[in-house]
Every structure is written in structure tokens, then in C-alpha cells.
A and B are shown apart, each in its own frame.
Chain A
């Protein structure tokens, strides 16, 4: 329940213009932590992946994980950033029980990557989201709050801290402010995070799962009256744990800030907390004194100066960006924007691409994945990619249909059988005898029998009611247990009766 006054979104957009910004944290999928050799397996027993370094024990010292630097450079290059020729780590000093050293080794005014961009497509237009910086830091431990009502901090009696996560490499990606999105602001925010996630996933540097915490998002929102030259005060919203929440958080903040401004008030620059259950934000604990992190260069680490050759190597090995791949496939397959979007939305793009690579036509591949297989996946409540059928198998089925060995109905039976684990399409066709009856002799026999058995239908056909042919086709299909080529059967009947 919120006690905030809100202005309905559409109305707010009539009078105000939003500026948004996003800060995203990505947990890198390195085998070991940022500054020590502890493993990073998700879900391990508490405090079973810790050592003097990541526990911050007195006397311990950090040593930089080279792979984390490489992964970060990969991300920076994919975001079209400049890679620093020389940079340093810095200490960000503040006290919190999940921080073993009570400072975080991060980067301050010398980030590894700067000044890039990511293009985001929303409602037919392309928005170039500027990337201010990409830098590396270490993650904190995790606390369980005990004794309060909901397991949250409020009202907890004490907390239990697990440092397994402390020291895992974290990449922070900060956008430049994004003006000019208008009413699309919530959708743009969501689309940016989605595109960023897909891009990073394609780089194989992180799982980027919001539900597992390997992708975390803070959203900044400000409003200014339409036509104003000056931007409004921005708020930072944390605890945004899903793509949907990104969109809702921006929407809510716009509605809330519009109400504040309408009433002649000033938006307070503050950190707000997003509530998943009702889509609202509430103000964070107000602090007496603003945080002074007292940044200074990390004296236990030496500067990082990535050699040009190394950066070039990383750049050369970058995979095709999702957006580039979409554009390329769209052109290759000659699809409309809408068709392409449908594929993306269904997360079918990879599957279709692989199916095409196995020999199917793009339209066949799309037809199967977005049609029958999507239906089966929805029924089972799973992702398309989780279905027990491979692109190669789908391609084979499409090939068999194309060759006339299977009709659609038989093809669906084959697919069912593959999903049920009966084997490859060819094995199934053989085992179940599902091949289309294309033997003219057999077909002729079945057709003649059907004609003989349905004289009244035949009579109707002969007087011109050709739609009745369907009945005879049905009879033949039934007699052949669905294995006849329906089109050929129709042909044969028409030959005999007209």
C-alpha cells in the first residue's frame, strides 16, 4: 500500500518529460573470485568458499584475476567503449557487516572502459543509450536477517552473514542519462536491460540471471516540465529484480514525481526501494550525513595497463552481437520487423537459426518452432529450448515433409514421438511405419474402396458438390491410418469422378 499521491502515467506524460539512467551490476562467471583463488559456485554451503583474502583477514592481500579483466574488456568492447590504456583500482570506504574489509575495492575516476553506447529498438525507433563507464569491483557477502516479520532488515533481531559471495567479480555498467524517451521511458529502460543482458550472455562472461542475482539493476528517474531546458532531480531506485520490475519502477517513479511537481513541491534526491508485490517505491532510510566514500587509489594493487595487442585479440574474438545477428538474419530470411520480433520474443531465434543451419528453410523452421513446438512448450510450462528435441531433428522432419515422405499430420506424430524420447525422426518413421503411403497401387486400392463404400457421396460429387470430396479423402486417410498424401488422394478421386 502506498501513501504516495500519483498522477496517472498518460497524464503525467502530457506535462512532463522523463530522463532515465541505469546502473547495472553483472556478476562475472569466472571460476575464481576477483582477488583470490576461492571458487564461485552458486549455492554452496555457507562460508565454504572463503579464504583469508576474501574474508579480509588482517594481513591478507588481493591479487587481480586476469580473466576478470579480460571479461570486462570484452564487455566494454561489445558496448563500443574506449578501453583505458592505464587504470587503477580504488578503495570505496564505508562500513557494513557484509563487507569484510569495510572498504570495497572498486574503480573510481579511472575505470577500465568509458564512453560507449548500446542501441535499443523500441516501437520502431532506435535509441542510442550512451554508456558512461564500465568498471570492475568486488561483490559483498550476503546477510540473512533473523527475527523480523518478512526476513527483511526491518525488525530483525540479528543477522547471519555468509561470505561466499564476497569477492566475486562484479562489473558495473553505468549509462549516460537518456533523455527524449517520452512515454516510452519505462519500455526503453526495460528494453535496454534486456538487450544488455542478451549481449552479455552472448559474450559468455556471465549467466546474467536476474533471479539468481548475477544481473542487478538500479534505475534512475527524473522528470522535468515539458520544454524545460533543465533536467529534474533524479531518484535512484534499487531492488529492481526483474525486467518487468524495471519497467514498473520507472512508471511508478514518473507517476509519483509528477504528483510532487504538480503540487509545487521539489523531488527529493534520494535512494528508493522498489517493492515487487505492488510495483511501488518507498524512500530509503534517511541518513544524517551523506556518505563520503573517501576514495583513494588501492595501495595493495598496482595499475592495470592492458597491452594493445591483448585488447585487439579480445576484440577479434568477439562474437556477433545479438542486434547485428538479428539484422543479418532478418535480411537473409527476408522477414518483416514483426516476424523478427515474434522470434525474439519467443526466444526462438537461436533454435530457428540452428534449424536452418541443419538444412531447413527459414519459413519451415519458423513454422515448427513458433507453431507446434511453442504450443507444446507452453503446455508443459517450459522454455522452448528445454523441449526434448533438437534443431537437427526438427530440420529432418521438415526435410521429410518437403520430400513428401511425411504429411503434416504424420510429421506432428513424429515430433510427439521425439519429444517422448523414442529416438530420431528416421528411427521413429521406421519403427512406427509412419511413412506416407505413396505407393500408387495401395492408394488406388484405398481410393477405389472408399468410392465404392460411399455411393451417395459419390453421387453428390458427380453433380458438382465437389466439397464432398473431403469426406472421401477422410475415408481414405482413415483407411491408411493417416499415412496417405492427402493432396494426391484428392487428385485421384477427382480424376475418377469428374
Chain B
């Protein structure tokens, strides 16, 4: 049955496709039907690419008929955050300023997914230019959390996370700059990974904060996320910050799922005031669970983590104020006010005024401030020093333990509108995730239960040193297996929003 196809994992679909129990066309159609049925309420997608998806599926089916060798993801549907450039499909980055923009080139990751035969279902909603933690900053409306449609799905990759949680796609890709994969994954009850910075190509990823942006996978299971992680990662000569090293063995680690003997550190500073009690209690249970599986748990202090948020909100806006300067109405995108009475500068300023939302404007101005002469040393320069100290905290910690753990985000999904015009409150959603972005190491969020007070998902964050992404999957998979056994069913089965 079609609805069964949408309930399957990517791994399951891959196997069913390989054994020809089902065709790529059937799988794709089932997901397109699901999108048609629910996306009116979830609004995960900005653009559904029905025609091209079915074409891609048909091509995969033909190749399979001809006995051509196909990669594991051939015929498996994937949703793509609208921050990745895609030929043939629009790329808006959730902004008016790119409304209708059709890039002439594919992001490297998109190209690799296409080459692997994955079927691209469409482009998902996001906070404008990846700035936000709720998808409320999208110029095209907020996506909704499938657990409770009056709540946010997290951000900035809220659309991708919601799509996976709503069974509209088994896999999705997003980007994580301050937590924009892990936080939405946590509040939607799915798995999301921020790979090692430089482990996945940024070529074709519209830049928000260049030294922090990291493309990564979403899945409903740890193994699914691992499969996508492996397919999308690896060195890219078009990206100078791309690491020339083999992708860590994430799939193997996800399958082994064995934490016995692993040293796990609980970060002291990622707890306390501002953390919802249900989040803390579920997290504590997750830690106990890992201990019961044979891990050695200790507390580790990372004293400079409390400066991570302010450092991030200096570095990221600084880089984005420069990255977003190119949106000036001259070569592509929105052009406003060009009626012959205005000069180029005026048209630029009017276009950017109309084309950018409030959060983007805030961060551009903040960035311009932090970089301006006279302020550079005290703000941007200082933040970069804090970054060094945070890296040293991680290095010291990883000298004692193999992975660090914390809640993924201090609260469960908050209601739509609650923090929309309170930037500082919104920023707090990234408290736990930001340190890994600053340091460039790998981190994952895996569901660890529902908060008793609201019945909403809580995420366990696991952090590993750069290039040790496999450790994430080892721990997350072990936790997932143990939890699923305890719960008797996958967590998502309890989602009542749809």
C-alpha cells in the first residue's frame, strides 16, 4: 500500500527497490501523494517537483530493468532545503529577494545525490537565508511541527525536518550553522546530523556564515541519516574549505551501535537555568541508558561554552553581512523601484529593504557593526579569540572522553508566534548546538523521549571530535535501539499533529 511506502525507512526502501519488490516510480508517487495530502497543513515544501521527480524515478527504474549497477539511494526520495542551488527548480532561500530565481548550476551535494539516483521531491521551507530557529522567518509562511501544528518545527531547516517527521520524505538535507539541523530534528522527533565542518561540500549552498555552514542529513532513523551522510559527504575541489579525507565510516558505526567501553562526557555548562525540566529529565534518562549499555559516563566542564552564544552572534552576522551584499538587484533576484528616477544605489537600497525580512536586516546591521573600524577588535576580533578558547575546551574534553553529550536544545517545540519578535529569546534555542559549529566538530541529535509536561519530543545531542563522525552514529544508534525497545515503537508513531 502506498501509505506503507511512506512509513518505510530509507534503508527499507533501498532494500525493497533493490529486490524489485517495488519500483522507484511507485515509491515516488506514494510520497507525492502524501505531500498532497498533508503539506497544506505542514507547509514543509516551498516547491514540489512532481514532474522531474517522476522522471528521475523512471530513469532509475529503467536502469534497474537493464541490470545496471545502482547505488543504495537510487530511487529513494529526498527533500532538499531551499538553500541548495538546483537547476530546473527554483531556489529562494526562504527570501523574497530570490523569488523566482533559477540557478544555472547544481550544488555539488545535489549533483552527487542526482548521480546516486536519489529522487528529489522538492525544495523545503527554511528561515530566510538560514537565519532563525523556527522557520517563522521564512518569507513564504511558517512550516508546522507534525507533532502539533500550532508549534514550530525548529529552524532554520524546519521544512526538511517537518517533511521527514510528517512522512513526506524518508530523507532530507539541510544546513547547520548554529544548530539549524540538530534543533529542528530534536523538536520534530527525528535524527539530524551536523557533520564535521568541511566534511560536506558548501559549493552551491547559499552562504549564511561561511566558516560555520555545514550541510547535513535528516532521517527518521540513525541508519537512514548515516546512509544519507555517506552519500552526500566527501571532498570537493570546488570548495577550498572542504577536507580531503575519506568520509568517516558512519554507516558501519550505525550498524554496530555498540557503546561498551566508550567514554561519554556530560557537559556541565549545557544545563541549568532556561532548560525545560522535561528536557533535562529525558536527557538524564538517556545518559543512564547509555551507561547501562556499557559506556563510562563522567561530567566534563567546558568553561568557555557560556560565551559561545555571544561569540556566534558576532561571527555569524559579520560573515553574513558580507555574504548577503551580493543581493543588490543588479544581476538576479528582486529589483525594486527601477522606474528611471532612481540611481543604482537607491535601487539597491530599496530592493534590499523590500526583499529582506527583519531578522536578516538585524543580522546584517549587527555584522556591519561588529566589523566596522574601531569596533573590530572588541567584537569580531574578540569573538574569534573566544572561538579559539572553545576549541581548546573541546580538545581538552576529548582528551578525557570519546564523545560529549547534552540536550540538543533547552526546550521542546515552542508555539508559533511565541518568540517571533523576541530575537534574544529565539537565539537561546541554539545554546547547546552552537559550540560545535564554532569548533567545527561533528554532532548529532537523536530522539530520546517525550517531555512529560507537553508530550513533545526531546533530543539527545552527541558531539564528537572533527572527523570522528562515526562515533556519533555509534552512540546514537545504540541509544535509538535501546529506546525503541523500551518504547515498543518508534517515537514518531506517537505524533498526533496530523
A36 nearest in chain B by CB position = B238
Which residue of chain A is the closest to B319 with respect to CB atoms?
A: A299
Of the A-B pairs whose beta carbons lie under 8 Å apart in the complex, a sample of 11, sorted by A's number, is A52-B103, A58-B91, A58-B101, A59-B85, A59-B103, A59-B204, A60-B203, A61-B241, A63-B239, A292-B372, A296-B319
Identify which of residues 8-23 in chain B touch chain A, using a CB-to-CB cut-off of 8 Å: none
Contact: A300 with B240, CB < 8 Å? yes
* B172 on the A face (CB < 8 A): no
Query: Does B176 lie at the interface of the complex (its beta carbon under 8 Å from any beta carbon of A)?
Result: no
A59 CA / B92 CA spacing, docked (Å): 12
Q: A103 interface residue, CB < 8 Å from B?
A: yes
- Report if B206 contacts A (CB, 8 A): yes
Give the distance to chain A from B360, nearest Cβ to Cβ, in Å.
14
**Interfacial chain B residues near A299, Cβ < 8 Å:** 209-211, 241, 319
Q: Which of B85, B210, B211, B344 contacts A58 (CB 8 A)?
A: B85
Please measure, in the bound complex, the distance between the C-alpha atom of A472 and the C-alpha atom of B204, giving whole angstroms: 89
Q: With the chains together, A39 CA to B348 CA distance in Å?
A: 30
Question: Is A55 in contact with B103, judged by CB distance below 8 angstroms?
Answer: no
Whose C-beta in chain B lies nearest to the C-beta of A56?
B326
* B98, B107, B210: residue with the most chain A Cβ atoms closer than 10 Å: B210
The answer to whether A294 touches B93 (Cβ under 8 A) is no
How close is B384's CB to chain A, nearest CB, in angstroms? 9
* A64-B93 in contact (CB<8A): no
Residues on B facing A (Cβ under 8 Å): 84-85, 91, 93, 98, 101, 103-105, 107, 202-207, 209-211, 237-241, 318-319, 321-322, 325-328, 330-332, 344-345, 348, 368, 371-373, 376, 380
Is the CB–CB distance between B331 and A95 below 8 Å? Answer: no
Asked if B240 and A61 sit within 8 Å, CB to CB, the answer is: yes
Is the C-beta of A133 less than 8 angstroms from some C-beta in chain B?
A: no
* Chain B residues within 8 Å of A161, by CB: 330
Is B206's CB under 8 angstroms from A59's CB?
yes
Given A52-B105, A93-B325, A159-B344, decide whether A294 and B238 contact each other with a Cβ distance below 8 A.
no
Q: Is the CB of A302 within 8 A of B241?
A: yes
Q: Are A58 and B240 in touch, CB under 8 angstroms?
A: no
Q: Assess the B373–A292 pair: CB atoms within 8 A.
A: yes
Q: Does A101 reach chain B (CB closer than 8 Å)?
A: yes
**If the complex has contacts A294-B371, A299-B211, A300-B241, are A59 and B203 also in contact, measured as CB distance less than 8 A?**
yes
Say whether A63 contacts B206, CB under 8 Å: no
Question: Does the CB pair A296–B376 fall under 8 Å?
Answer: yes
> Which of A59, A62, A292 neighbours the largest number of chain B CB atoms within 10 Å of its CB?
A59
Residue of B nearest to A91 (CB): B322
Nearest residue (CB) in B for A101 is B326
Instruction: Determine how close the nearest CB of chain A comes to the CB of B195; give it in whole angstroms.
Output: 17
Interface residue A102 (Cβ < 8 Å from any Cβ of B): yes
A-B complex: 7 closest residue pairs judged by Cβ atoms: A102-B325, A299-B210, A294-B371, A299-B211, A58-B206, A59-B204, A59-B85
Please tell me if the beta carbons of A61 and B239 are within 8 angstroms of each other in the complex.
Answer: yes
- A8 an interface residue at 8 Å Cβ cutoff? no
Return A15 CB to nearest CB of chain B, in Å.
37
Q: List the B side residues contacting A102 at CB < 8 Å.
A: 325-326, 328
A301 within 8 A of B: yes
* Contact call B241/A57, Cβ cutoff below 8 A: no
| Count of A interface residues, CB-CB < 8 Å | 29
Identify A63's interface contact among B237, B319, B322, B368, CB under 8 A. B237
Q: Closest B residue to A52 by CB, please name it.
A: B105
A294–B372 touching, CB < 8 Å: yes
Question: In the complex, A301→B240 CA distance in Å?
Answer: 6
List of B residues within 8 angstroms of A52 by Cβ? 103-105
Q: How far apart are the CA atoms of A95 and B319 in the complex, in Å?
A: 16
Are B348 and A95 in contact (CB-based, < 8 A)? yes
- When C-beta atoms are compared, the residue in chain A nearest to B212 turns out to be A299
Asked if A101 and B241 sit within 8 Å, CB to CB, the answer is no
| Residues of A close to B91: CB separation below 8 A | 58
- Nearest-neighbour CB distance to chain A for B482, whole angstroms, equals 40
- Find residues 296-312 in chain A having any chain B CB closer than 8 Å to their own CB: 296, 299-302
In the complex, the chain A residue whose C-beta lies closest to that of B349 is: A95
Are A58 and B325 interface neighbours, CB within 8 A? no
Q: If A59-B85, A63-B238 touch, does A296 touch B322 (CB 8 Å cutoff)?
A: yes
Q: Take A95-B348, A300-B241, A302-B240 as given contacts and tell me if A55 and B371 are in contact as well, using a CB distance cutoff of 8 Å.
A: no
- Residues of B within 8 Å of A93, CB to CB, are 321-322, 325, 371
B237 touches A58 (CB 8 A): no
A56 CA to B207 CA, complexed, in Å: 11
Query: A322: CB under 8 A from chain B?
Result: no
On chain A, the residues within 8 Å of B206 by CB distance are 58-59
Q: How far is the CA of A110 from the CA of B237 in the complex (A)?
A: 25
* Interfacial chain B residues near A159, Cβ < 8 Å: 344
Minimum distance in angstroms from A110 CB to a CB of chain B: 14
B210 & A300 in contact (Cβ 8 Å cutoff): yes
Q: Which residues of B contact A100 (CB under 8 A)?
A: 326, 331
User: 8 Å CB contacts to B: which residues of A49-102?
Assistant: 52, 55-64, 91, 93, 95, 97, 100-102
Min Cβ gap A102→B in Å is 4
Contact A103 B322 (CB under 8 A): yes
Contact with B along A425-447 (1 / 0, CB 8 A): 00000000000000000000000
- Interface bits A314-342 vs B (CB < 8 Å: 1, else 0): 00000000000000000000000000000
Which B residues are in CB contact (< 8 Å) with A292? 372-373
A61-B202, A61-B239 known, 12 other contacts, Cβ within 8 Å: A52-B104, A58-B85, A58-B207, A61-B241, A91-B322, A95-B348, A100-B331, A101-B326, A103-B325, A292-B373, A299-B209, A300-B241
- Asked if A101 contacts B203 (CB within 8 A), the reply is no
Distance in angstroms from A202 CB to nearest chain B CB is 32
A294 to B371, CA, bound (A): 5
Question: B382 to nearest A CB, angstroms?
Answer: 13
B230 to chain A: closest CB distance in Å?
A: 23
Contact B207 A59 (CB under 8 A): yes
Q: Check if A61 sits within 8 Å of B325, measured CB to CB.
A: no
Is there an interface contact between B240 and A64, defined as CB atoms closer than 8 Å?
yes
Q: How far is the CA of A91 from the CA of B330 in the complex (A)?
A: 20
* Residues in B neighbouring A97, C-beta threshold 8 A: 328, 330, 344
Residues on A with beta carbons closer than 8 Å to the beta carbon of B210:
299-300
A18-57: contact bitstring with B at CB < 8 Å (1 yes, 0 no)? 0000000000000000000000000000000000100111
Chain B: minimal CB distance from A55 (Å): 7
Structural contact, B325 and A101, CB atoms closer than 8 A? yes
> Cβ of B203: which chain A residues have Cβ within 8 Å of it?
59-61
Chain A residues, Cβ within 8 Å of B93: 58
Closest B-chain residue to A94, C-beta based?
B325
- Compute how far the CA of A159 lies from the CA of B330 in the bound complex, rounded to whole angstroms: 11
